[in-house]
Amino acid sequence: QVQLVESGGGLVQAGGSLRLSCAASGLTFSSYHVGWFRQAPGKEREFVAGITRGGSVTNEVDSVKGRFTISRDNAKNTAYLQMNSLKPEDTAVYYCAARAIDRPTISISNRESDYGSWGQGTQVTVSS
């Protein structure tokens, strides 16, 4: 049974930092792309960042480029989202998701429907 568990969310002041973790089990983690998504109150869930199987290629949405960094440690079956210079508009529930990849590709999907496994989410609140 595939399980993704996010942690590291919390309340932080604007300009602060948080590091989210996504611990995976029940899958061959290194065979999956990982994506981070977020959903703010009253808004649709949106793609934030993604990373390929080996971690060599990443992709971030423009609104977080230069502030957020996605990474992974396949030996620990864990992906991370380092969030710096946080803004109130970053307030959301953050989800990690995994997409099975059967052949090497550097194309990282930003579509929810391409990711078959999801975590339960972790709340990030940025106060002004």
pLDDT in tens, the chain (128 residues): 999 999 999 999 999 999 999 999 999 999 999 999 999 999 999 999 999 999 999 999 999 999 999 999 999 999 999 999 999 999 999 999 999 998 888 899 999 999 999 999 999 999 99
Whether residue 50 contacts residue 61, with contact meaning beta carbons closer than 8 Å, is answered with no
Look at the block and give the residue holding tokens 């993604």: 50
pLDDT recorded at residue 27: 96
Which token pair is 113?
A: 């429907």
Closest to 119 (Cα-Cα) out of 37, 10, 31, 33: 37
Rg value, the chain, Cα: 14
Beta bridge partners of 39: 93
| DSSP-derived 3-state class of residue 65 | coil
Dihedral pair phi/psi, residue 4, rounded to 5°: -120, 130
